[in-house]
Amino acid sequence: MSSGAWAGSFDNCKQNFYAVTAPDYLNQKLLNKSMELCFDGFATLYSGASRTPLWSAEHLTRERLYQAEQIPREDSFHSESRLPNSMQAQLADYKNSGYDRGHLAPNADMANTSQQYDSFSLANIVPQDPRNNRYSWKNIESVTRYLTKKHGEVYVVTGVVFAGKKVTQINNRILVPSHMFKAVYVPQTEQAGVYYSPNDDSDIVEIISVDELALRSGIDVFPAISSQAKAAAMPLEISLGDVSDRGDYDNKKKADPKADQEQPLWYLILIEILHWVVDNFFKK
Cβ proximity of 23 and 157 under 8 Å:
yes
Catalytic residue flag (residue 103): yes
Backbone angles phi, psi at 193, to 5 degrees: -160, 165
Considering 59, 78, 103, 179, which one is annotated as catalytic? 103
Q: Is 81 helix (H, G, I), strand (E, B) or coil?
A: coil
User: Would you list the DSSP string of 127-196?
Assistant: EE-HHIIIIIHHHHHHHHHHHHHHHSEEEEEEEEE--SS---EETTTEEPPSEEEEEEEETTTTEEEEEE
Question: What's at 177, amino acid-wise?
Answer: P
Q: Backbone dihedral region of 86: left (phi > 0), alpha (psi from -120 to 50 degrees) or beta?
A: alpha
Does 133 carry a binding-site annotation?
Answer: yes
Residues annotated as part of the active site: 103
Q: Which residues are annotated as a binding site for Mg(2+)?
A: 133
Q: Which residues are annotated as a binding site?
A: 133
